[in-house]
Chain A
């Protein structure tokens, strides 16, 4: 029943966009697609629009190995930001794996990263530890998302609304 409603809604959207070639119809269609098809970079962008990651540097498949022990061949898409200066433990990492099994393995790697950061920063900058103590790791289907930032609750809310 639920699937039928979603299908009907999508059909209605398609019909609307097909019937109208003006800007409004295209925009409405894009909005629906964004809601349905979240991207890793879309999620990190949404978080960073609300929460600052100091000296944010984006990492890619080539250099992610310095931070996460993840087999990039199992990753469909990813978006990772760290604090480039090393001053703060702020970090965002969103991975979409090829399958759930890979996501489960990836989630373990993300947990290891959090443990490692906690071990380093607990003596180094105790004042910043709340970012790691309240860090969030969310696993949903093929998705694994990690946030350690100044407002982890807000980051969690954004992630959960998008995946």
Chain B
């Protein structure tokens, strides 16, 4: 009994020593961890939410962490960083653009937002008829080649909604995009959603319903991936709270657009194109630039005052690109 009791005591002592050693090791590791992180046990900020304003409110240490995650997160997720106010667009931005459309696009020239030589548009055109209709004695491809634009913006489909199936127009749009690419291989193509109509227009012409317009827009939106086009969603910004074309944008026929609608559409196009360019930049140039920024932050232990400068300079790089 006593032998067993002694053995048991020895085992207990050994176990206690092991536990103490483990506890000490854990404490030491925790201390090292605390020292390494500077006691920053507060939750890490979400990688995606980092902005200039959030950087300004953090401490020097956590700011460093944020910048690292910011650059890597931005690279991975390509979140649109540029938001323009509705109606805020730059005329010069569209100097290298060519617009293709129907009577809605004639408004770009009619209201003098764009010069006539950068717009190919005529009342009644559809994604189908655009391919064989001359406007001013010229085909769209000839005009596009002549313009040699960086971007071709297409807003077509409103005229077909009443009598053509959405799928049919979608197929024709694909063909049209292919033909444009053959003629203008250097141009990027942006597809603009068609606008809603007013409630009164839908009552008078139920064949041009909001439902059909939405269906068509959702069809051609698929071309983002299928034809690698830039999608410009303008439908929602032209709607009122009831989901119809807002009165301030609607011509008296409830289908066409008043002058106030065009700056809104142009601002949305500019925003989409800028974000497209931004995302292209992140995939190529900006990724390496971001990595360099991270390296500098780690080695130099920069202070709060230097952080916004780094972040700002990155932002400028994106915008310039």
Contact = CB atoms under 8 A, between A and B. Distances in A.
B112 A86 contact: no
Interface stretch (A40-48, A118-126, A143-151): A118-126
- Contact size class for A? 10 to 19
A83 B110 contact: yes
Nearest to A116: B136
A86 B124 contact: no
Interface in B38-53: none
B103 A57 contact: no
Nearest to A122: B124
B110 to A, nearest CB: 4
A81 to B, nearest CB: 11
A125 B106 CA distance: 15
Contacts of B111: 55, 57, 84-85
B109 A85 contact: no
- Contact size class for B? 20 to 34
18 contacts: A55-B110, A55-B111, A57-B112, A63-B109, A65-B116, A84-B111, A85-B251, A86-B103, A86-B104, A86-B107, A86-B110, A87-B255, A87-B256, A120-B122, A120-B123, A120-B124, A123-B124, A125-B123
Interface of A: 54-55, 57, 63, 65-66, 82-88, 120-121, 123-125
Contact of A87 (B159, B251, B259): B251
A66 to B, nearest CB: 4
Contacts of A63: 109, 112, 115-116
A84 B124 contact: no
Interface string B87-129: 0000000000000000110110111100110000111100000
Contacts, number: 58
Interface string B248-272: 0001110111110000000000000
B250 to A, nearest CB: 10
A84 B110 contact: yes
Interface string B154-167: 00000100000000
A82 B103 CA distance: 13
Closest 8 CB pairs of A and B: A66-B116, A87-B256, A86-B106, A86-B103, A84-B110, A85-B256, A124-B124, A84-B111
Given A86-B104, A86-B121, 7 more contacts: A54-B252, A84-B111, A85-B111, A85-B256, A86-B106, A86-B256, A87-B255
Contacts of B255: 87
A85 B258 contact: yes
A124 B112 CA distance: 23
A55 B123 CA distance: 16
Nearest to A54: B252
